[in-house]
């Protein structure tokens, strides 16, 4: 069977990477000085990605496997390639849709920046790494792209690396992400170890997603309960850090130092989605123990509550949106905790469209917001709070999946209330001190409208496909609007602006202090015990004397001899260099004569020996 | 006077080449150096033609090579003389020792 | 091919003598004239070796064209000659160089004397001049056509370049 599209799906993955190489290499060799070529190539890559993803999704193959063996160690054959199914295709389609809009937006946004070609190249690399993560056939390749996503986000956040606070923020983001990466790597290696030692089939060692059910069952059978919990918790920790869940949500605040397009991409479809995607892939493992699902859901719920409340106090618009991202991803985790994968994916897609649109509507730091952007922002806010379009459907779906547990439903409604509250509060804050401007910038406006159109199209698709009913979260959000109006009239909007920084303080102050205490205890052992042990000291003194003698008499002598010899040679050589062409000619002739004489002597000797 | 062999021609070419090298090393006048370089090329040409005549009766590749050498030697001489003309305008001398500083 | 010793030795002697004269004359014009004699002697040697075409080219280019342009450049420098300051290259270097040259020549002769069969001589084929010309044409237009084109390109570049430089200078 030959199919033009299905045979060439690898282009989805490779196209952004090629464009990245073309832009970087072309700039490095000064081939493409023209910026328009870079813009066109970047847009083309994501547009072709959309077309290919969409076409593949319409053809709807069961699964596509295109891979080649990458590492071969005896029975351990790690393959590198593509594993495409419906889930990864949907998320990849959303990824390319969002990144197309964001790239179109950043053309006008980055017009005045220096070295903007690097920015576009990195956007392409971001697409490549995220698509590679989505299409990975096994956990090892997924880990590689997982790290690549982290590295590219580090590069993009620290794009203006000469500004100190930006480079520091990018470093913090990278370090916090490292925690999750390490946990994930530990989990992968542990599972691989058990599979290699206990499973009969060596093909399980590479942890292909296709065999995930069998691998989970085998792992459950071969490990003790504690081990199984530990391994699964490592995976959950990795996913939670990448998705900015509660104890680690701080890196998303630091990531706010990035440019607006980067934030839009990072928060919607690229980086934070990776954690949710990993959890979906590993659900067969978590299903075996009920408690693991409860832990996943609990992490999500706590994050949603805490971050929603924090967002109500924060005043910086980008940070509010960052808290909101953490909270919404928490809702996805909650849905996954109830094995409600469909609702989680629908919420992921809806959230990607809404959040990217909200970011694209924000003005630059020193600009005022325009009328057009503000109205789009308001529509997005309504959608995010669950009153309009796909945001409403997704939220109701998650709520319906809670299976009528009253306490959870109350907390969920609380979260919905706070979500509506902080987003409308943010909209009011945006226009509070600054006036709206009437200028119309189509290059900044159209990408946001495109995302809104996608949101609406997705809503009608959901209306056609999914059955849902309007329930409590909708009314909670409506109530929040009233509450905001009340607060606004009373002038209390910016009364509570001091954000509690317990988690940040724990990471940046308590942990270093503990580390220093431990280090001082260790040095105490060093100082008290080793410094007073006589034989050790005399031995060290003797060693120092021997080393000193060797250094003085052998090392130094030889070094100074070399130096003086080199000096003599250079003096002699300096005399030879008379700047006279003819003397150089003579030296060359003499040297060539010597060489040819030796060649002839050897040649004659060898030939006379032979004869 | 024995029969004339290939080696006689080779030695003639070698001597012409060495004379050219000697001249290019000791001559103080730029034009003389250029003439010496032409001597070297002539010696090499004699070598080529000799080998072609004695060892290669089928193709005479050496003749063709000697032809190319004559052409390239003429080109090189023209370029060298133009460079000399420019340098002479600058230094107002044809003594090669004046040319040691660029 | 002409293998007459008398003609060969006389031509060789002519070349030797006029080479030394060309190197030793202080007057550049005399030096140039004696070098012309050397080039014509080389053309004679080519003729003796049986390559009339090479001989004609040598006589035309080296015997006539090259002396003309060298003579023109001598005319440029006329009246501004500086007397040579003599021999400044270190004598020791020259001594070693001479010893090496002598050793080189000696080694060449020795190796040739030891291994006379190293070169696979084909014997003297009695070829007519027509054969030579056809071999030439085959060499230029078939075997080495790219090199030929390259050389002609080089010549064109030099002519164009010199005219451009002249225009720029003016």
Domain layout of chain B by residue ranges: 7-92
Among all chains, which residue has been given the structure tokens 């282009």?
A: A11
Give the pLDDT score at A546: 92
C-alpha span between B4 and C9 (Å, rounded): 9
pLDDT over 90, % of chain C: 8
pLDDT over 70, % of chain C: 68
If one counts every other C-beta atom within 10 angstroms of the C-beta of residue A82, the result is: 22
A143, burial (CB in 10 Å: exposed 0-12, middle 13-18, buried 19+) = buried
Say if C128 falls within a structural domain. Answer: no
C-alpha span between C29 and C21 (Å, rounded): 12
For chain C, state the CA radius of gyration. Answer: 21
Kindly report the CATH class assigned to B7-92. Answer: mainly alpha
Say if C15 falls within a structural domain. Answer: yes
List chains touching C (3+ CB pairs under 8 A): A, B
Higher per-residue confidence, A544 vs C155: A544
Total residues belonging to chain A: 611
Say if C30 falls within a structural domain. Answer: yes
Say if the Cβ atoms of A604 and C111 lie within 8 Å: yes
Question: By the 8 A CB rule, do A307 and A326 touch?
Answer: yes
Contacts of A594 in chain C (CB under 8 A): 100
For residue B19, give the nearest of C19, C80, C85 by CB distance.
C19
For residue C148, pLDDT beyond 90: no
Say if the Cβ atoms of A582 and B101 lie within 8 Å: no
- B96 in contact with A at a CB cutoff of 8 Å? yes
Kindly report, residue by residue over C15-40, the tens digit of the pLDDT. Answer: 988 888 888 888 888 889 999 999 99
Beta bridge partners of B29: B95
Say if the Cβ atoms of B81 and C85 lie within 8 Å: no
C72 and C2 belong to one structural domain? yes
Looking at every residue in chain B, the average pLDDT score rounds to: 84
Phi-psi region of A115 (alpha: psi -120 to 50; beta: other; left: phi over 0): left
Give the pLDDT score at C87: 47
Query: How big is the A-C interface in CB pairs under 8 Å?
Result: 39
For residue B96, give the nearest of A578, A582, A586 by CB distance.
A582
If one counts every other C-beta atom within 10 angstroms of the C-beta of residue A105, the result is: 25
Give the pLDDT score at C128: 65
Instruction: Return the structure tokens found at C99.
Output: 């010893």
Say if C38 falls within a structural domain. Answer: yes
Please tell me the total count of domains within chain C. 3
Kindly report, residue by residue over C128-145, the tens digit of the pLDDT. Answer: 667 777 777 887 788 888
C-alpha span between A579 and B96 (Å, rounded): 11
Say if C126 falls within a structural domain. Answer: no
Kindly report, residue by residue over C73-109, the tens digit of the pLDDT. Answer: 888 776 555 544 444 455 555 666 666 666 666 666 6
Q: Give the residue ranges of chain A where pLDDT is below 70.
A: 1-2, 28-33, 61, 404, 433-434, 491-500, 611
Say if the Cβ atoms of A586 and C97 lie within 8 Å: yes
Give the pLDDT score at C119: 52
The SS3 of residue C85 is: coil
Say if C64 falls within a structural domain. Answer: yes
The residues near A456 (Cβ < 8 Å, ≥ 6 apart) are: A389, A390
C41 and C73 belong to one structural domain? yes
What DSSP character marks residue A551? Answer: I
Say if the Cβ atoms of C97 and A589 lie within 8 Å: yes
What DSSP character marks residue A364? Answer: P
C10 and C59 belong to one structural domain? yes
The distance of A588 to chain B (nearest Cα, Å) reads 11
Say if the Cβ atoms of A589 and B21 lie within 8 Å: yes
Looking at every residue in chain A, the average pLDDT score rounds to: 83
Kindly identify which residue of chain A lies nearest to residue C109, measuring between CA atoms.
A600
Q: Does the predicted model carry a pTM greater than 0.90?
A: no
Say if C105 falls within a structural domain. Answer: yes
C111 and C145 belong to one structural domain? no
Prediction ipTM score? 0.89
Question: By the 8 A CB rule, do A317 and A429 touch?
Answer: yes
Contacts of B77 in chain C (CB under 8 A): 66, 69-70
Contacts of B52 in chain C (CB under 8 A): 51
Domain that holds residue C105: 86-115
Residue B42: which pLDDT band, with cuts at 50, 70 and 90?
very high
Residue C118: which pLDDT band, with cuts at 50, 70 and 90?
very low
Say if the Cβ atoms of B26 and A581 lie within 8 Å: no
Contacts of C73 in chain B (CB under 8 A): 31, 81, 84-85
């Amino acid at each position: 069977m030959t199919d033009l599209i299905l045979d060439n799906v690898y282009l989805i993955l490779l196209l952004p990477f090629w464009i990245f190489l073309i832009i970087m290499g072309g700039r490095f060799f000064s081939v493409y000085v023209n910026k328009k070529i870079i813009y066109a190539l970047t847009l083309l890559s994501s547009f072709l990605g959309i077309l290919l993803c969409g076409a593949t999704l319409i053809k709807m193959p069961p699964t596509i496997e295109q891979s080649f063996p990458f590492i071969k160690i005896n029975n351990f054959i790690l393959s590198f390639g593509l594993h495409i199914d419906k889930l990864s295709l949907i998320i990849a389609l959303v990824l390319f849709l969002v990144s197309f809009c964001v790239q179109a937006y950043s053309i006008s946004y980055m017009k005045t920046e220096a070295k903007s070609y690097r920015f576009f190249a990195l956007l392409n690399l971001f697409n490549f790494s995220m698509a590679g993560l989505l299409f990975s056939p096994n956990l090892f390749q997924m880990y590689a792209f997982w790290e690549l996503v982290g590295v590219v986000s580090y590069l993009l956040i620290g794009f203006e690396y000469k500004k100190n606070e930006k480079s520091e923020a990018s470093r913090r983001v990278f370090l916090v992400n490292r925690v999750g990466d390490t946990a994930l790597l530990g989990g992968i290696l542990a599972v691989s170890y058990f599979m290699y030692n206990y499973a009969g089939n060596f093909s399980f060692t590479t942890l292909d997603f296709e065999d995930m059910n069998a691998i989970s069952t085998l792992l459950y059978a071969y490990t003790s309960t504690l081990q199984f919990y530990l391994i699964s918790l490592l995976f959950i920790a990795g996913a939670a850090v990448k998705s900015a869940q509660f104890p680690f949500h701080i890196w998303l605040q630091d990531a706010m130092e990035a440019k607006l397009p980067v934030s839009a991409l990072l928060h919607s479809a690229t980086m934070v989605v990776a954690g949710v995607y990993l959890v979906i892939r590993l659900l067969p493992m978590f299903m075996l123990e009920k408690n693991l699902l409860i832990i996943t859901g609990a992490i999500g719920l706590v994050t949603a509550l805490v971050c929603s409340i924090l967002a109500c106090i924060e005043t910086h618009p980008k940070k509010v949106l960052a808290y909101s991202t953490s909270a919404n991803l928490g809702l996805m985790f909650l849905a996954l905790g109830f094995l409600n994968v469909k609702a989680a994916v629908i919420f992921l897609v809806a959230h990607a469209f809404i959040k990217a649109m909200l970011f694209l509507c924000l003005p630059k730091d020193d600009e005022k917001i325009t009328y057009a952007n503000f109205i789009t922002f308001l529509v997005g806010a309504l959608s995010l709070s669950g009153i309009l379009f796909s945001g409403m459907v997704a939220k109701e779906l998650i709520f319906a999946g809670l299976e009528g547990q009253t306490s959870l439903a109350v907390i969920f409604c609380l979260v919905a209330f706070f979500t509506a509250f902080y987003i409308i509060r943010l909209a009011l804050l945006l226009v509070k001190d600054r006036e709206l401007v009437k200028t119309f910038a189509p290059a900044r406006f159209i990408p946001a409208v495109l995302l809104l159109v996608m949101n609406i199209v997705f809503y009608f698709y959901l209306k056609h496909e999914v059955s849902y009913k309007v329930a409590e979260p909708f009314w909670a959000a409506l109530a929040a609007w009233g509450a905001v109006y009340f607060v606004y009239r009373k002038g209390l909007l910016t009364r509570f602006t001091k954000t509690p920084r317990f988690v940040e303080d724990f990471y940046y102050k308590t942990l270093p202090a503990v580390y220093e205490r431990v280090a001082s205890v260790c040095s105490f052992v060093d100082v008290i015990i080793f410094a007073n042990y006589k034989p050790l000291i005399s031995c060290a003194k003797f060693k120092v004397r021997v080393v000193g003698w060797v250094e003085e008499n052998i090392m130094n002598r030889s070094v100074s001899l070399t130096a003086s010899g080199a000096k003599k040679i250079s003096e002699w050589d300096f005399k030879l260099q008379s700047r006279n062409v003819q003397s150089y000619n003579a030296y060359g002739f003499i040297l060539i004569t010597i060489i040819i004489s030796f060649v002839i002597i050897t040649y004659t000797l060898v030939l006379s020996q032979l004869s | 006077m024995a029969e004339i062999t290939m080696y006689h021609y080779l030695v003639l070419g070698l001597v012409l080449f060495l004379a050219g090298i000697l001249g290019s090393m000791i001559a103080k006048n730029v034009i003389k150096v250029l003439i010496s370089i032409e001597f070297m090329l002539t010696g090499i040409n004699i070598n080529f033609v000799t080998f072609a005549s004695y060892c290669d009766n089928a193709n005479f590749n050496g003749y063709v090579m000697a032809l190319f050498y004559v052409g390239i030697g003429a080109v090189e001489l023209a370029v060298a003389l133009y460079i000399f003309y420019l340098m002479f305008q600058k230094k107002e001398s044809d003594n090669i020792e004046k040319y040691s500083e660029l | 091919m002409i293998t007459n010793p008398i003609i060969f030795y006389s031509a060789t002697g002519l070349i030797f003598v006029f080479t030394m004269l060309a190197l030793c004359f202080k007057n550049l014009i005399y030096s140039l004239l004696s070098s012309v004699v050397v080039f014509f002697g080389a053309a004679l040697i080519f003729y003796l070796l049986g390559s009339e075409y090479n001989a004609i080219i040598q006589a035309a280019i080296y015997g006539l064209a090259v002396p003309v342009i060298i003579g023109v450049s001598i005319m440029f420098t006329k009246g501004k000659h500086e007397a040579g300051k003599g021999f400044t290259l270190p004598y020791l270097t020259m001594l070693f160089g001479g010893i090496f040259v002598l050793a080189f020549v000696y080694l060449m002769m020795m190796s040739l004397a030891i291994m006379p069969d190293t070169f696979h001589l084909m014997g003297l084929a009695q070829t007519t001049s027509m054969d030579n010309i056809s071999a030439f044409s085959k060499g230029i237009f078939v075997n080495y056509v790219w090199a030929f084109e390259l050389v002609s390109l080089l010549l064109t570049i030099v002519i164009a370049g010199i005219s451009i430089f002249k225009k720029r200078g003016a």
